[in-house]
Amino acid sequence: MNQDSLHRGARRRPLPQLLATATLCLGLGLALAPLPSVAQARELPDFTELVERVGPSVVNIKTSEKARPAENPAMDEQMQEFLRRFGIPVPRRGAPRGGDDEAPTRRGLGSGFILSADGFVMTNAHVVDGADEVLVTLTDKREFKARVIGLDKRTDVAVVKIEATGLPQVRVGDSSRLKVGEWVMAIGSPFGFDNSVTAGIVSAKQRDTGDFLTFIQTDVAINPGNSGGPLLNMRGEVVGINSQIYSQSGGFMGISFAIPIDEAMRVSEQLRSGGRVQRGRIGVAIADLSKDVAEAIGLGKTAGALVQRIEAGSPAEKAGIEGGDVITKVDGKAIQSAAELRRAIAAIKPGSKATVQVFRRGSTKDLTVTVAELEADKPAKAAEPETKPAPGAAAALGLSLSEISEAQRKELKLRGGVLVDGVEGAAARAGLREGDIILSVDNVEVSSIKQLQTQLAKLEKAKLINLLVRRGDAVSFVLVKPAAR
């Protein structure tokens, strides 16, 4: 009951009755409950001290980049990135006329925070990726040109450096100590409005939306320009980097995602020391284990990662891992999912040995794997790809395909595969994307468009089509539901 309702109730009772009630309560030794407004107001969080203390450590980041061919110079980089992240098509134009001096300049906005007094600043990789110039503006209006020390697209973390000393730096917290329901605050530059403060609570932890890290979910208002800014706890410590939102409209809808600062700091340390991040790999294609499969093989639970394919000559092959194995532990730590296995292996320093426990034909076995280094993402397309419209069944699925040259296969370490140049219809609904490489159809490897078409033609018309697809360095199965053929 709030104060207004108490007042309304008081007006309905005659004064003698109220006095009698008060006298009775005192006579029985009972205290009247105080009005809650003042006490409750004191219990609500006060962010003013945090803003005064942390605000000077938060920076505005502006980037500029000359528009490249086939890009839209009318749309700034930050907005293009924002649209791409949430599946909104970005319109494109032809290349600008004239030389480089006449090329329009795209400008982007973002946020960041000062890691050290000598000018190291952390932000999102997508804020500075591809920028020809990066400008960092402090709250005292000083502006510095920054150089990009390194960026990691897989975690969306970047470190830039400005030439300054005695800067106010943030305090780094422990994101593992965050609790769901805990108050948090964000400072950034949404739409260019410097040092804007928003607040909310932690909605969920370890939200699994990426291959190499889990996210902190909050209801803190985040918009374009907030990217790279800090997420702070009530002690004024940075616990995350604001990176993404979930939106069906393009605007904030109450769900924001932040990169846990623990993972971001591990990435930043590698970027500062070597300019890049080293990650481990063992050379397996994996998937989550379904309940039916787990029961069928006698495992009894869906925890673990199912090995679907092993690269020739890979660390996994040398260690004796086989297709059909279920990896249940890495160095004694239980593995619950395929994504968790990728993160566990990626966190191991290349060249190190790891103990991998596998479940195989009813029993477990420990194998020692020498972890290799995960290579950077490489584009599958050549500079001038030859695109061929796919006739027959592939066209019916909405696929436009092209062959992969021997040079590309060697570079990407592929035995075969067919490159996806365009998707629509059933293929798009299934989640296939331009740039994917189809490795097999219904567990049969394909190395040409002709082989792919032949295999598709053998399948039943109404059957789900099982495609093994490579996207970047990850391999997964995509189930395509064909339309009536």
Active site residue 227: yes
* Spatial CA neighbour of 399 closest among 287, 478, 309: 478
**What is the dihedral sign for C-alpha 293, 295, 296, 299?**
positive
Active-site residue, selected from the candidate residues 76, 152, 156, 421: 156
* 203: CB partners within 8 A, 6+ apart: 180, 217, 218, 219, 255
Does the predicted model carry a pTM greater than 0.75?
no
Count of residues in the chain: 485
Q: How does DSSP classify residue 235?
A: T
How do beta strands 237-245 and 230-232 pair?
antiparallel
Per-position pLDDT tens, the chain of length 485: 444 333 433 344 444 444 444 443 444 454 545 555 555 555 778 899 999 999 999 999 999 877 655 445 445 555 555 555 544 455 544 444 444 455 566 778 899 999 999 999 999 999 999 889 999 999 999 999 999 999 999 899 999 999 999 999 999 999 999 999 999 999 999 888 888 999 999 999 988 766 678 899 999 999 888 999 999 999 999 999 998 887 666 667 788 999 999 999 999 999 998 888 889 999 999 988 888 888 888 888 889 999 988 988 999 999 999 888 999 999 999 999 888 899 899 989 999 999 999 999 889 999 999 999 988 654 333 333 434 434 456 777 788 888 988 878 887 878 888 999 888 888 888 888 888 999 888 778 888 888 888 888 887 777 778 788 888 867 677 888 876 54
Please give the Cα distance from 483 to 464 (Å, whole number).
10
Q: What are phi and psi of 468, to 5 degrees?
A: -90, 120
Please give the Cα distance from 280 to 212 (Å, whole number).
11
Does residue 459 sit in helix, strand or coil? Answer: coil
Please give the Cα distance from 438 to 440 (Å, whole number).
6
**For the residues of 25-70, what is the DSSP string, one character each?**
HHHTTPPPPPPSHHHHHHHS---HHHHHHHGGGEEEEEEEEEPPTT
**Residue found by looking up tokens 């329901």 in the block:** 181
The distance from CA 321 to its chain's CA centroid, rounded to whole angstroms, is 29
| Angle value at C-alpha 151, between 145 and 154, nearest 5 degrees | 150
pLDDT for position 76: 54
Active site residue 156: yes
The answer to whether 277 and 263 have CB atoms below 8 angstroms apart is: no
* Spatial CA neighbour of 144 closest among 85, 199, 62: 62
Active site residue 140: no
Please give the Cα distance from 438 to 467 (Å, whole number).
7
Structural domains of the chain ordered from first start: 45-277 (2.40.10.120), 281-373 (2.30.42.10), 388-480 (2.30.42.10)
The answer to whether 479 and 464 have CB atoms below 8 angstroms apart is: yes
For residue 454, give the amino acid letter.
T
Active-site residue, selected from the candidate residues 227, 243, 247, 256: 227
Other beta carbons within 10 angstroms of residue 308's beta carbon come to: 19
pLDDT for position 21: 42
Does residue 175 sit in helix, strand or coil? Answer: helix
Active-site residue, selected from the candidate residues 111, 126, 247, 268: 126
Please give the Cα distance from 32 to 25 (Å, whole number).
7
